[in-house]
Amino acid sequence: MADLEKKQTNLDCNPEFRRSRGGIINFLENNRRPLSALMVFIILMLFFIIAKPKMFLDWGIYDAVFRSLPILIVIALPLVFVIVSGEIDLSYVSNMLFSLWIFAAAAKAGWNPFLCMLLAILGGAIIGLINGVLVNHIGLKSIMATIGMKFLLQGLVAGGSSIMPIPLNFLKDTLFYNTFVGKIGNFPVQMIWAVISLVIATLLFNYHKFGSHISCVGDNLESSREMGIRTVRVKTLAFLYVGIASAFAGVLSGLIYLSFEPVSGSPDELMLAVLASVFIGGTPTAGGVGTIFGAFIGACTIRFIQTGVIEIGLSGFWTQFFNGLIILIALISHKFHKSR
Amino acid sequence: MKTKFLELKNVSKSFGKVNALERVNFYIKGEPEIVSLIGDNGAGKSTLIKIISGIHTLNYGEIYINSKKMKNWSVIKSRASGIETVYQDRALAFQQTIARNIFMGRELTGIFGFLKSKLQFAEADRLMRTIGFTSKAFASDSIVNKLSGGERQGVAIARALYFKANLMILDEPTTALSLTESEKVFDFIRHAKESGTSCIFITHNVYHAYSVSDRYVILDRGEIVMETDREHTTAEQLVKDMQKIAQSHDKVREGIKNGRS
């Protein structure tokens, strides 16, 4: 009994120690994943600036990168939610194409482009929802289910459109065009949309119970269910979010290139670039933790490598080499973070 | 004296032909108390707590909460009556903060479901203080996987406390823990009692359980064979009692052997 009393007096001696700690060290500690992603990005940029100062101190290259970078960002951020929940989605590029097809077909028919965009987003949302239902309600493995969805959509778009491209030139310089991919001075507007999507995703992930639920579900599914989180619904919502974002990214890409191309381009390269953005940003594959800001920085890193490698004078084939290298470095750093 | 919070009368439970519990009478007082269930493997300890938390349905007998007879006892009713089962540390999300674990699934939110993070941290802080979670290294925004086994139990206990549980059930809370870690857990349990929560836990180690418990219930082969409290016994006496019970088995076994041979 005396022991117990003694313990309690000890406790009373320092009543303040359990306050939430602040300070710079704690900040660094809690944000080490996105911060190390930021470090990698800064080192990369310094390297480019030193190697090609004329090129990389000129706005031109940033203008070029900022034109297409938002596509990567808009999808990568919601994908963090799916990966943190312990699943994966590989169908988003096909979903982009599918939604853009809806948009282009409706716009060509003379509908108001804002309405067409809503239609496209609705289409993307439905695909996302189907993915979510397949994985969470029916219980398929997400990697297989979404690969199935990817091929299904690619085939649907190719077959349905008879591989006929739909030019979107008629949208150029309209109010709609300027709202999404216009310019403010020298600054591409789509980058503002990328920042808006960063704000939304950050709010949801860090400051909303959705993000809290997603993290708990990815961390310990059993216990989350026991504690009353509606795990199936939460995980399906993450797929829905990716679906909506894919549709938005699809319409953006249609506006940037002013065309809908059913089979051109290299969809798999974009798919891997988005995945790489998430992993380079500091979100591990295992689920439970992730970082939105990291994925944003990861997307920047990937896009600047793609541009920078060519500007530095290497052949475009080297981009894949450097992307691969950065991914491996990122994965090794995840291991390092985990072991701490 | 206040009415008993929980009362089990003549409770029996069998799995097929095996009688796990036979006509057990058990209660928890109205004022907070700590009860340890002691007994060999297969004595029916786990069955008893699973009946209380509603996981097992009972074959026979009655359950009363505050002297009110409960019908169709279930997990949901058990929770609604303020009985929280602490599923040990495996019920925590290890990569999340202490606060997030405590509020898992029942977050404090404001408009549009946005989190009241500061309030959550403050509340988590208060709870950990209540159970005497004393560590200079950790705050309510610390990640759970940095905590020791005993401290993780503390987080699980704090979670049960937040929902103003009347009764906490812990299934062998100290089995995998070292002596100092076990002491921590018992300390948390003591503090929980001070803040008004009763506690039942299962243990194998009588010496461990002695100092923390108010009452000891020894089960054997599905029956409560002994019930005593700290004022009327010592740890040594308890161990002797348990040995006596074990020896009675041996005698029965020998009797069977002799009878057969």
Q: What is the pLDDT of residue B43?
A: 84
Contact (CB, 8 A) for A121 and A99: yes
The region of weakest confidence among A133-147, A170-184, B88-102 is B88-102
Nearest to A17 among B93, B104, B136 (CB): B136
Q: Please give the pLDDT value at position A264.
A: 66
Q: Which of B137, B174, B140 is nearest to B158 (CA)?
A: B140
Write out the two tokens for A197: 């999507």
Least confident of A173-182, B62-71, B143-152: B143-152
pLDDT band at B214 (very low <50, low <70, confident <90, very high): very high
Chain A residues near residue B144 by CB distance under 8 angstroms: none
Provide, as residue numbers in chain A, all residues whose Cβ is less than 8 Å from the Cβ of B230.
Answer: none
Task: State the best of B87, B104, B143 to mutate against chain A, taking most chain A CBs within 10 Å.
Answer: B104
Instruction: For residue B186, give the chain A residue with the closest CA.
Output: A4
How far from chain centre, in Å, is Cα B3? 21
3-state secondary structure of B216: strand
B13 to chain A, closest Cα gap in Å: 25
Residue pointed to by tokens 């988005």:
A274
Which of A122-136, A279-293, B125-139, B181-195 has the highest average model confidence (pLDDT)? A122-136
pLDDT of res. B257: 62
Token pair 């937040």 in the structure block, residue: B162
The helices-and-strands tally (H runs, E runs) of chain A is: 16, 4
Model pLDDT for residues B111-148, shown as the tens digit of each residue: 888 998 888 888 888 888 888 886 777 788 888 888 88
What local confidence, expressed as pLDDT, does residue A15 receive? 38
Decide: B235 and B206 in contact? Cβ < 8 Å.
yes
Closest CB to B96: pick one of A11, A30, A216. Answer: A216
Q: Which residues make Cβ contacts (< 8 Å) with residue B138, sequence separation at least 6?
A: A18, B98, B146, B147, B151
Examine the pLDDT at A129 and tell me if it is beyond 90. yes
Q: Which residues in chain B are closer than 8 Å to A208, comparing Cβ atoms? A: 112-115
* Reported confidence tier of residue A6, pLDDT bands at 50, 70, 90: very low
Mutate to test the interface with B, among A21, A84, A202, A219 (most CBs of B within 10 A): A219
pLDDT in tens, A8-39: 333 333 333 344 456 677 777 778 888 988 99
Average pLDDT, chain B: 85
Total H helices, total E strands in chain B:
8, 10
CB pair distance less than 8 Å for B105 and A14: no
Q: Which of A20, A21, A208 sits opposite B113 (nearest CB)?
A: A208
Q: How far is A200 from chain B (nearest CA, A)?
A: 12
Cβ within 8 Å, pair B115-A212: yes
Distance from CA of A210 to the nearest CA of B (A): 8
Residue in chain A lying closest to B187 (CA): A4
Nearest to A208 among B105, B115, B128 (CB): B115
Candidate from B103, B128, B139 with C-beta closest to A21: B139
Residue A108 CA to residue A250 CA, distance in Å, equals: 16
What mean pLDDT comes out for the span A304-320?
84
| Chains A & B: contacts with CB separation below 8 Å | 91
What six digits make up the tokens of A124? Answer: 């993307």
In this structure, are residues A55 and A237 in contact, taking their beta carbons and an 8 Å threshold?
no
pLDDT of residue A9: 35
Residues of B whose CB is below 8 A from A18? 125, 128-129, 133, 135, 138-140
Q: What is the rounded end-to-end Cα distance, in angstroms, of chain A?
A: 39
Query: CB–CB of B114 and A8 under 8 A?
Result: no
- The pLDDT value given to residue A14: 37
What's the pLDDT score for residue A308?
87
pTM over 0.90: no
Note the helical H segments in A14-58.
23-30, 32-51, 53-56
pLDDT tens track for B2-29: 788 999 999 999 888 888 888 899 999 9
Measured between CB atoms, does B94 come within 8 Å of chain A?
Answer: yes
Using CA atoms, how far apart are residues A53 and A8, in angstroms rounded to an integer?
64
**Residues of chain B contacting residue A219, judged by C-beta atoms under 8 Å apart:** 93-96
Largest CA distance in chain A: 86
The alpha carbon of residue A332 is apart from the nearest alpha carbon of chain B, in Å, by: 19
The answer, for B139 touching chain A at a CB cutoff of 8 Å, is yes
Contact B132 A30 (CB under 8 A): no
Chain A nearest-CA residue for B117:
A207
> Which amino acid makes up residue A185?
G
- Between B91, B95, B132, which is nearest A289 by CB? B95
Amino acid at B231: E
Q: Say whether A7 and B138 touch across the interface (CB within 8 A).
A: no
Q: With contacts defined as CB-CB under 8 Å, which chain B residues touch A289?
A: 95
Q: What is the DSSP letter of B144?
A: G
pLDDT of residue A10: 36
* Contact (CB<8Å) B91/A226: yes
Smallest CA–CA distance, residue A10 to chain B, in Å, is 9
Contacts of B121 in chain A (CB under 8 A): 20
Share of residues in chain B with pLDDT > 70 (%): 93
Cα angle at A152 between A150 and A285, to 5 degrees?
20
Among residues A101, A22, A117, the alpha carbon closest in space to that of A263 is found at A101
As a whole number of angstroms, the distance between CA A33 and CA A36 comes to 5
Interface confidence, given as ipTM, is 0.81
CA-based nearest residue in chain B for residue A16: B136
pLDDT at position A8 is: 37
Q: What pLDDT is stored for residue B258 in this prediction?
A: 62
Q: Which of A45-49, A141-145, A254-258, A261-265 bottoms out in mean pLDDT, i.e. has the lowest?
A: A261-265
Q: What share of chain B is helix, strand, coil (3-state, %, to 5)?
A: 40, 25, 35
pLDDT at B223 over 80: yes
At A201, which amino acid appears?
A: A
Least confident span in A124-138, B60-74, B174-188: B174-188
* Confidence band, pLDDT 50/70/90 cuts, at residue A269: confident
- Using CB atoms, which residue from A21, A207, A229 is nearest to B104? A229
Q: Could you tell me the two tokens for A199? A: 């704000």
**Residue B253 in this model has a pLDDT that exceeds 70:** no
